Amino acid sequence: MKYYSTNHSIDAVDLRTAVLQGLPKDKGLYMPDDIPLIMPRFFENIQLLSFREIATSVALTLLGEDLPSNVIIDIIDNAITFDTPLIKLDDTHYVLELFHGPTLAFKDVGARFMARLMKHYIKDTDQKLTVLVATSGDTGSAVANGFLGIDGIDVIILYPSGKVSKIQEQQLTTMGENITAIEVDGSFDDCQNLVKTAFVDKALGQKMTLTSANSINIARLIPQTFYYFHAYAQLKRQGNTEPSVISIPSGNAGNLTAALIAKRMGLPVKRFIAACNSNDSLAKYLHTGELVAKPTKHTISNAMDVGNPSNLMRIQDLYSYSVEFLRQDLLSWSFDDDATRATIRDIYKTYNYIMDPHGAVGYLGTKRYEEEIDRDSVHIILETAHPAKFKDTVDAALGITVDIPSRLEQVLHKSKQSLRMPADFEAFKQYLLS
């Protein structure tokens, strides 16, 4: 399979290039040039398969031309080490919990898979990779953790000093091994500029192989298709065979893009909902057909604070730039923080279930669908983070104290190890060269 750029001004590349390069030179995004259909008989017995077995089948279908089966199986076995259970709220509402990975967010799935695929590509060369990640808090830990302990790859995380939460900082700075955290005296934009400047610096380019491993890497999207098939399997196991409506709390729309690819591969699903917070570019695009990038607004579902969702380029390409065509599969609405807090309370009162602010935005999307479209569908809401990751917000909304899972608790007691640095490229470059 070849991977083309959505800007269509460079030649298509192989998977290896797409993964190691991350971003095409023409500033588009890589997409597979053929989305293969899953064999219909796969769905007949899917309810009997484990998440890992489902992931393996889907990966073999997508990547079977590019990688030997044993390599694919090995990557899946090492990347998919946790479950994505489907929790029943009532007969028509289910929650797909995607937070059972090491950093308690769905990004663990993509990050772990990408790290192992990169490792495969460099293991027989004498290439050493250095992954640079700028983070505003949440995504950095999943990416870095995905690479933890992987030979031949060093990860350097840059985060703005004093601008990430205590839990996030502990997650970023206590991994050790091949992960180094740099605490930058500056903003997230400063961190991102340091990374961007490093990528185009000639001296650095000669001395080391830098890669970004960021959310737009195709290697992070591919594994995110797996859990949509797993959700269907679990729904079927519970006796529901009708295609469901799946609500996806969306920011940069990577999770959504993976969902649309899964549908193209044959996943039975009625429709998707892209549930957005006050950053409503995606919702506006679906309603008006026009894409207007906006400055990012800060919200309590901050992992979705994206004013200009980059994966929309992929979605537009997948739907031949027709918003009418896209609307057949996708609806989108935006919800503010007050509605999100009220919904965290409603879900707790109605179902005794504690939802994080991102999942709550997803649930709002489901409610709106029921009010405006139809009332007799079966719904799946994606829960993208564990509520304890957003403890202050959830505790305040519910007036209770959310339990911290032990794997997060452990991180809180480790000692912070970070390198403090000014937001100055020369200092950063000297560090990289040393």
Residues in contact with ligand PLP by the rule CB under 6 A? 105, 107, 138, 249-256, 303-304, 358, 384-385
What's the rounded Cα separation, in Å, for the pair 226 and 83? 11
First to last CA, the chain: 39
Q: Taking the complex as a whole, how short is the minimal distance between the CB of residue 214 and ligand PLP, in angstroms? A: 11
Q: Taking the complex as a whole, how short is the minimal distance between the CB of residue 429 and ligand PLP, in angstroms? A: 29
Element (H, E) at 95: strand 93-97
Task: Give me the phi and psi of 419, to 5 degrees please.
Answer: -110, 120
Q: Is the distance from CB of 250 to CB of 220 less than 8 angstroms?
A: no
Q: Taking the complex as a whole, how short is the minimal distance between the CB of residue 301 and ligand PLP, in angstroms? A: 7
The token pair at 371 is 């009010």
Q: Taking the complex as a whole, how short is the minimal distance between the CB of residue 312 and ligand PLP, in angstroms? A: 10
Q: Taking the complex as a whole, how short is the minimal distance between the CB of residue 41 and ligand PLP, in angstroms? A: 31
59: closest CA among 47, 73, 48, 49?
73
- Classify the phi-psi angles of 217: left when phi > 0, otherwise alpha if psi is within -120 to 50, otherwise beta: beta
In the complex with ligand PLP, which residue's Cβ is closer, 130 or 171?
171
In the complex with ligand PLP, which residue's Cβ is closer, 110 or 186?
110
Q: Taking the complex as a whole, how short is the minimal distance between the CB of residue 227 and ligand PLP, in angstroms? A: 12
255: closest CA among 424, 79, 111, 399?
111
Q: Taking the complex as a whole, how short is the minimal distance between the CB of residue 30 and ligand PLP, in angstroms? A: 16
Return the beta strands (E) in 289-404 as ranges.
Answer: 330-334, 379-383
315: closest CA among 259, 371, 238, 356?
259
In the complex with ligand PLP, which residue's Cβ is closer, 240 or 301?
301
In the complex with ligand PLP, which residue's Cβ is closer, 122 or 408?
408
Q: Taking the complex as a whole, how short is the minimal distance between the CB of residue 256 and ligand PLP, in angstroms? A: 6
What's the rounded Cα separation, in Å, for the pair 140 and 171? 9
- Residue 310 CB-density burial (10 A; 0-12 exposed, 13-18 middle, 19+ buried): middle
What's the rounded Cα separation, in Å, for the pair 393 and 139? 19
Q: Taking the complex as a whole, how short is the minimal distance between the CB of residue 420 and ligand PLP, in angstroms? A: 26
Residues paired with residue 95 on neighbouring β-strands, in sequence order: 87, 381
- Taking each helix axis from N to C terminus, what angle separates 51-63 and 69-79, rounded to the nearest 10 degrees? 140
In the complex with ligand PLP, which residue's Cβ is closer, 169 or 421?
169
What lies within 8 Å, CB to CB, of 253 at 6+ separation is: 274, 282, 306, 309, 310, 311, 312, 315
In the complex with ligand PLP, which residue's Cβ is closer, 160 or 249?
249
In the complex with ligand PLP, which residue's Cβ is closer, 198 or 276?
276
In the complex with ligand PLP, which residue's Cβ is closer, 24 or 254?
254
Q: Taking the complex as a whole, how short is the minimal distance between the CB of residue 144 and ligand PLP, in angstroms? A: 14
Q: Taking the complex as a whole, how short is the minimal distance between the CB of residue 149 and ligand PLP, in angstroms? A: 22
- Taking each helix axis from N to C terminus, what angle separates 406-413 and 166-173, rounded to the nearest 10 degrees? 80
In the complex with ligand PLP, which residue's Cβ is closer, 368 or 389?
389
What's the rounded Cα separation, in Å, for the pair 348 and 402? 12
What's the rounded Cα separation, in Å, for the pair 53 and 206? 42
Q: Within a 10 A sphere around the Cβ of 14, how many other Cβ atoms?
A: 12
In the complex with ligand PLP, which residue's Cβ is closer, 130 or 252?
252
In the complex with ligand PLP, which residue's Cβ is closer, 252 or 334?
252
